[in-house]
Each structure stands twice: as C-alpha cells, then as structure tokens.
Amino acid sequence: MLMVENVPASARWYCELLGADNDHERDDFDQIVSGSNVLVMLHCISEGEHGLMVPREGERRGVGCALWFSTDDLPAVYRRAKNLGADILVEPWDNPRAGWEEFSVQDPDGYIINLHS
C-alpha cells in the first residue's frame, strides 16, 4: 500500500503505466488490478488508518523502498511511461545479473518504480 496525495490521479497514472484497471475508484483508497491480481493499493496520505504515518512537511516518501513490476511487454510499458511524462530514472538496459531487461521511473509521489521483463 502506497501513501499518495491524490488517489484518483495516482490510480490513473498506475493504470496507464501498467495497462491495468482499478476496482474502487474512491478518493481515499483504490486498488490497481490486473484480472484478479492486486498489483498495488493506494491510500490517501491524509488518512490515518492502518498504521500509516503521515510524513512531515517536506519529508520524502518511499525512501529505501522500490516497487518491482514484471511485464511481458517492456517496450510498451516504457512508451506509456514516456507518454505519461514520467521521470525516467534509469533507461531500459539489459541486467546480466538478473537475466532481464529493466528500467526505473519515479511516480507522481516520488516512489521508485522498477519494471522488467
């Protein structure tokens, strides 16, 4: 579950990036899904449920955390990231240690998102 400023905007961003759907469409909570699989949950940062701590003003979220998503069509996901205007942190490259191609972006709330195939 990620704490985000604007759940509907973040849900749209993740749905577009991942080619997925959302199943709640609420202002305070949403789930990004692919079929019956939940890919990521989004929760409004101003809500204090589930032990979520609201960061202090100016404090970065997601420090020390990186989310990884696997895809069968990395070039399509990369094109969608570019179309979203996502901040591309690492361009696509072949990672010989992992045996896959990957790239990294930053989501609208500053979380690091890694995608690979």
Tell me, what CATH number does 57's domain have? 3.10.180.10
* DSSP single-letter state for residue 48: -
Spatial distance between the Cα atoms of 7 and 110, rounded to a whole number of angstroms? 14
**pLDDT score recorded for residue 35:** 94
Domain total for the chain?
A: 1
Mean pLDDT over the full length of the chain? 90
Q: What is the pLDDT of residues 66-104, one digit of tens each?
A: 899 999 999 999 999 999 999 999 999 999 999 999 999
Query: Which residues span the domain enclosing 36?
Result: 2-116
**pLDDT score recorded for residue 55:** 65
Spatial distance between the Cα atoms of 68 and 88, rounded to a whole number of angstroms? 15
